[in-house]
Amino acid sequence: MELRERIQADTKEAMKSKDAARLSTLRLISAAIKDREIAARGENAEHPGLTDADLTAILSKMVKQRQESARAYEEGGRLELAEKEEAEIGIIQGYLPRQLDAGEVQAAIDAVIAELGANSVRDMGRVMGELKTRFAGQMDFGAVGPMIKDRLMK
């Protein structure tokens, strides 16, 4: 089942089961997708629609936003709001691909570097771009950047 269809089906199921927290989060996901579709249409009138990779990127961004919000709420002593953000993160992550562990990330970096023949820090952008197309939503690219740089400097 396509990711968008899965989200729509789960939204209907949350309505039927009266799961307010899940329904609210799924509606936020749907709104973010709709916003991105509208923006894409404005950029390119012949845009065919969003792919699952685009949806994964949207969901990853939503998780990152909620992590930042939860951290801010915790620092401000608003634990009930931080818990709400954490609950939303859990729901959103259910639609993302499985995250790669540290060993798998390192193996992916090594494989892409070898395939591209990257041998200096100047090749970092090419390596990062290739990793983003292959592993969108499966790794934290903020943490991967320094790993790539370290590997290319050896």
Residue 12: what pLDDT?
A: 96
Q: Are residues 32 and 76 in the same domain?
A: yes
Question: Whole-angstrom Cα distance, residue 51 to residue 148?
Answer: 27
What pLDDT shows up at residue 46?
64
Domains held by the chain: number: 2
Q: Are residues 77 and 26 in the same domain?
A: yes
- Judging by beta carbons within 10 Å of its beta carbon (0-12, 13-18, 19+), is residue 45 exposed, middle or buried? exposed
What pLDDT does 42 receive? 73
Are residues 76 and 14 both part of a single domain? yes
Number of Cβ within 10 Å of residue 134's Cβ equals 12
User: Which of 41, 60, 93 lies at the terminal end of a domain, its last residue?
Assistant: 93
pLDDT of residue 144: 86
Q: What is the pLDDT of residue 25?
A: 95
Q: pLDDT at position 62, please? A: 92
Would you put residue 83 in left (φ > 0), alpha (ψ -120 to 50) or beta? alpha
| Shared-domain flag, residues 11 and 74 | yes
User: What pLDDT tens digit does each residue of the chain (154 aa) get?
Assistant: 588 899 999 999 999 999 999 999 999 999 999 998 888 877 766 666 778 778 888 998 899 899 999 999 999 999 999 999 999 999 998 998 888 888 888 898 989 888 888 888 888 888 888 888 888 778 878 888 888 888 888 7
* pLDDT tens readout for residues 44-54: 666 667 787 78
- Which of 93, 116, 133 represents a domain boundary (last residue)? 93
Domain extent for 134: 102-153
Instruction: State whether 69 and 112 are in the same domain.
Output: no
Tell me which of 57, 72, 93 is where a domain ends. 93
**Domain harbouring 118, CATH code:** 1.10.10.410
pLDDT given at position 68 = 94
Examine the domain organization and report whether 88 and 106 are in the same domain. no
Using the CB atoms, write b or e for 57-90: b if 16+ within 10 Å: bbbbebbeebeebbeebeeeeeeeebebbebbbe
Give residues with Cβ within 8 angstroms of 60, minimum separation 6.
96, 136, 137
- Is there a single domain that holds both residue 30 and residue 70? yes
